[in-house]
Amino acid sequence: MSTLRRRRTGARIDPTCTFSQFFELPAGSPITAAAKRGPALTFTRDSGDATYFDKNALLIKAAVDVPRFDHDPATGASLGLLIEVARTNLLLRSEEFDNAYWSKNGTSVTANQAVAPDGTTTADLFTADDGVNDSAFRVVAGVDADSDYTLSVWIALAPGSDTPAADGNVNLVLFGDLVATVSNNIGSDVTSLFQRFSVTGTTNGAPTNFTAQVGLIQSGDSGVKLLVWGAQVEKGSFPTSYISTTSSTVTRSADVCSTTDLSWFNADGPGTFYVQASQPGVAPNAFLLAISDGTSNNRIVMLQNGVNKTQFFMADGGDTQVGLNDLVDWAADTEKKAAFAFATNDAASYTDGTQTGTDSSVTLPSGLDVFYAGAGETGAAQWNGHIAQIRYWDVRKSNAFLQSITA
Q: Cα Rg for the chain, rounded, in angstroms?
A: 24
Q: What is the predicted pLDDT for the residue at 280?
A: 83
Q: Up-side HSE of residue 271: CA atoms within 13 Å toward CB?
A: 22
Mean pLDDT of the region 88-95:
97
For residue 336, is pLDDT > 90?
A: yes
pLDDT for res 218: 55
Mean pLDDT of 94-101: 96
User: Can you give the pLDDT at residue 373?
Assistant: 98
Q: Is the pLDDT of residue 150 over 90?
A: yes
Average pLDDT over residues 314-341: 88
Give the pLDDT mean for 53-70. 97
Q: How far apart are CA 260 and CA 294, in angstroms?
A: 11
Q: Is the pLDDT assigned to residue 45 strictly greater than 80?
A: yes
Least confident of 241-245, 293-297, 326-330: 326-330
Contact 151, 212 (CB under 8 A): yes
| Domain architecture of the chain: domains with CATH | 17-86+255-406 (2.60.120.200), 89-248 (2.60.120.260)
**For residue range 203-226, what is the model confidence (pLDDT) as tens digits?**
999 999 999 998 766 555 567 889
Query: What average pLDDT does the segment 120-138 reach?
Result: 84
Interval 213-259: pLDDT, tens = 987 665 555 678 899 999 999 999 999 999 999 999 999 999 999 99
**Residues of 91-128 as b/e, b for ≥16 C-beta within 10 angstroms?**
bbbbbbbbeebbebebbebeebbbebbbeeebbbbbbb
> Which positions ≥6 away from 87 have C-beta within 8 Å?
234, 235, 236, 240, 243, 251, 252
Confidence of residue 330 (pLDDT cuts 50, 70, 90): confident
- Amino acid found at 356: T
